[in-house]
Amino acid sequence: MIGCGKMGGALLTYWKKGDEQFTIVDPGLQEAPEGVRLLGDRAALGDETFDAVIVAIKPQMIGDILPDYRPHLGEGGYVLSMAAGTSAARLSGLMDGAPVIRVMPNLPAAVGQGVSGLYAADAVTARQAAHAQAMMDRTGTCVAVDSEDKLDRVTAVAGSGPGYIFEIARAYVEAAVGMGFSETEARDMVLGTMAGTTAMAMQQPDQPLEDLRNSVTSKGGTTAAGLEALNGDEGLSRRLRDTLKAAYDRAVELR
């Protein structure tokens, strides 16, 4: 694993629960997750080869660093990249034509509830794709997509999604504080309501969200009044569409 920032460390926490053995090369990392070998310099690898080379460095560093790892990818191995905006074709070219799988995880992987997208390029074998899928499944939910463009759309919806949810929660808490609750009281109520409501929806996967919403909305009641103010003019729906489009457009710019 080349580099190990916050996301890489979050994934490793769950990846290492499998049968694989991991080695990190990262000169800036002081401590690795338990059971993971940490090296400060690639030279310390000697002539070792691996079943996969995991790219967890910043995209702008890839061109300078990744080619040095060509000798360390074993026969039948593949490249697994979590670098946003770096195409499978470019990664493969830097690794002498090695098969490439790209993943786009999100931050809740840190608590085993991530939502990730996975794209396997044409040269990837079924065995390699299944292995990467199994690793990502350990971190939460993993959705396999059939194009890199769709992976950019996963980025807009799920990769950036925690930021949207945190912002909605922040504004919701702020509104509750404005009604006279303390910050702690408001946070507990808002996050508890969001968590419980989400859990309820997850337990009823065949139930349309509109129906679930209607099940707690009495005609002329308090929820109906609140929903009218929230999205009666479709303003919230439009803003969320704009949010996803802006994130997707930026992902395209970074390709």
Q: Tens digits of per-residue pLDDT, 174-223?
A: 999 999 999 999 999 999 999 999 999 999 999 999 999 999 999 999 99
> Across residues 52-76, what is the average pLDDT?
96
Over range 52-72, report the average pLDDT: 96
pLDDT tens for each residue of 130-177: 999 999 999 999 999 999 999 999 999 999 999 999 999 999 999 999
Query: What pTM, to 2 d.p., does this model score?
Result: 0.88
Handedness of CA 90, 94, 96, 101 (dihedral sign): negative
Q: What is the mean pLDDT of residues 33-45?
A: 94
CATH class, 6-156 region: alpha beta
Q: Can you give the residue ranges of every domain in the chain?
A: 6-156
Residue indicated by tokens 């061109």: 63
Sign, CA torsion 239/105/93/27: positive
According to DSSP, residue 44 is labeled G
DSSP 204-237: -TTS-HHHHHHHT--TTSHHHHHHHHHHTTSHHH
255 has pLDDT over 80:
no
Mean pLDDT (the chain) is 95
